[in-house]
Amino acid sequence: MKNNTTIATLGSHSALQILKGAKDEGFRTVLIALYDKADFYRRFPFIDKVIGIAHYSDFPSVEKQLKNHTTVLVPHGSFVAYLGKEGNKKIKVPYFGNKKVLDWEEDRGLQRKWIESADILMPPEFTEKNIQFPVIVKTFGAAGGSGYFFAANKKEFMEKIRSIKSPRYVIQQYVVGVTCYLHYFYSPLINTVELMSIDRRYETNVDGMGRIPSQYQHSMQIDPSYVVVGNSSLVLRESLLPEAYAMGERIVASSKKLIDHRGLIGPFCLETIITPDQKFYAMEISCRIVAGTNLFIEGSPYSWLTYNEPMSTGRRIAREIKFAITKNKLNTVVD
């Protein structure tokens, strides 16, 4: 297929993976980046054009350029942070996925309704009145784990809550277990959920804390922080895979009931903790490509089971768009 369509995204998060995947599928590729990041992205041969901008608020002016070509915009985890939820909704260039999901993702109450309606366990949530310690406190819209805090008791909670700038936050039970981030892809064209890959986040300083002798952690006044700076790969015990797949399918089915008939489209991630009784507790859902998929530019153990070629999530998105174009069904996968 001669492919005259352009895939475009913003310069951050998983842009390299998205555009590498787009190029592998034969698309023209465009990146919109802040001026100080533009040169960095120009290193990569699979990016056909880098459009520099001074501020993300200049994005609407770029949109006009994008419309000169047939372009599909692929959003990632920085789109809401950079353009705002309303900014995303205003985009007129075809946008991969279903924008109605944005409202359900942003509001932690709606997220919980969605996840629980999919029969997936979540850590209990508290108000300041009924709080049971230990807890982890998460501000709304916090990006990359920054602004989260741990509190083991009331005193600690009261001290830390003062330093939080956001007036909106949730108080979750701290579930003891190990973290596991499951990356899915839902194709409405073939009506199938695929497990693309699995990662574990690498968070500073909490993932370095265990290297400090316990008798000194307190005197060193080390307080755990959860700022995500990287990812490492995982595979899951095979006996847990049927439930991992089934959770993904239930999330998609629920999204069609709760959000609209199209529901969630494309990549999403369940961010879980697995407890010693081998139960998954979902802390959050991310309704787009997550940064953990950047580990799998050349495929993951799971994608290699399904594909006889390297298949990242970024490439899977491009393939879905290509397939939609071929079938004259682009509207099925964009908004």
- 3-state secondary structure at position 270: strand
Give the SS3 label for residue 66: helix
Compute the least distance from the CB of residue 231 to a second copy, in Å. 5
Q: Which residue has the tokens 């040169």?
A: 39
Phi, psi of 265 (to 5 degrees): -130, 135
Q: Name which position in 65, 173, 217, 332 contacts a second copy (CB under 8 A).
A: 217
Out of 131, 144, 262, 284, the residue judged to bind a second copy by CB under 8 A? 144
Q: How far is the CB of 109 from a second copy (least distance, A)?
A: 27
158 near a second copy, judged by CB under 8 A:
no
Binds a second copy by CB under 8 A, chosen from 57, 61, 232, 326: 232
Q: Which one, of 102, 129, 22, lies nearest residue 268 by Cα?
A: 102
* Residue 220 or 328 with smaller CB distance to a second copy: 220
Phi, psi of 232 (to 5 degrees): -130, 160
Q: What is the DSSP string of 280-318?
A: EEEEEEE-SB-GGGGGGTT--HHHHHH-SS---HHHHHH
Residue 99 interacting with a second copy (CB under 8 A): no
Residue number, 5 or 231, with CB nearest to a second copy:
231
Residue that is written with structure tokens 């209990």 in the block: 124
Q: How far apart are CA 149 and CA 171, in angstroms?
A: 10
Query: CB–CB of 334/98 below 8 Å?
Result: no
141 scored as a contact of a second copy (CB under 8 A): no
319 touches a second copy by CB under 8 A: no
- Residue among 60, 55, 102, 98 nearest 77 (CA): 102
Q: Is 253 in the site for a second copy (CB under 8 A)?
A: no
Query: Which of 158, 257, 298, 331 forms a contact with a second copy (CB under 8 A)?
Result: 298
Per the omega criterion (within 30 degrees of 0), is the bond before 3 cis?
Answer: no
Cβ-contact 268, 188 below 8 angstroms: no
Residue 81 tokens, joined: 């942070």
- Residue 103 CB, nearest distance to a second copy (Å)? 26
Among 163, 242, 261, 328, binds a second copy (CB under 8 A): 242
Instruction: Tell which positions 29-88 bind a second copy, by CB under 8 A.
Output: 36-37, 40, 43-46, 78
Q: Of the listed pieces 89-97, 120-128, 217-225, 251-259, which binds a second copy according to CB under 8 A?
A: 217-225
Which position among 190, 213, 261, 328 is part of the footprint of a second copy (CB under 8 A)?
Answer: 213
User: Which window, 51-59, 169-177, 254-262, 315-323, contacts a second copy (CB under 8 A)?
Assistant: 169-177
What pairing do the DSSP bridges indicate for beta strands 226-233 and 266-274?
unpaired
**Is 296 an interacting residue with respect to a second copy (CB under 8 A)?**
yes
Of 233, 260, 326, 329, the residue at the interface with a second copy (CB under 8 A) is 233
Question: Which of 21, 30, 8 shows the shortest CA–CA distance to 297?
Answer: 21
Give the closest residue to 232 by CA, choosing from 146, 288, 285, 295. Answer: 295
Which C-beta is closer to a second copy: that of 72 or that of 193? Answer: 193
Task: From 25, 29, 15, 23, select the one nearest 72 (Cα to Cα).
Answer: 29
What residues contact residue 332 under an 8 Å CB cut-off, 6+ apart?
188, 189, 262, 324
Does 152 engage in binding with a second copy (CB under 8 A)? yes
**Number of residues forming the site for a second copy (CB under 8 A):** 86
Whole-number minimum distance, CB 232 to a second copy, in Å?
Answer: 5
Q: Which residue from 116, 235, 329, 331 is in contact with a second copy, where contact means CB under 8 A?
A: 235
Site for a second copy in 272-291 (CB under 8 A): 273-278, 291
Q: Please tell me whether residue 103 binds a second copy under the rule CB under 8 A.
A: no
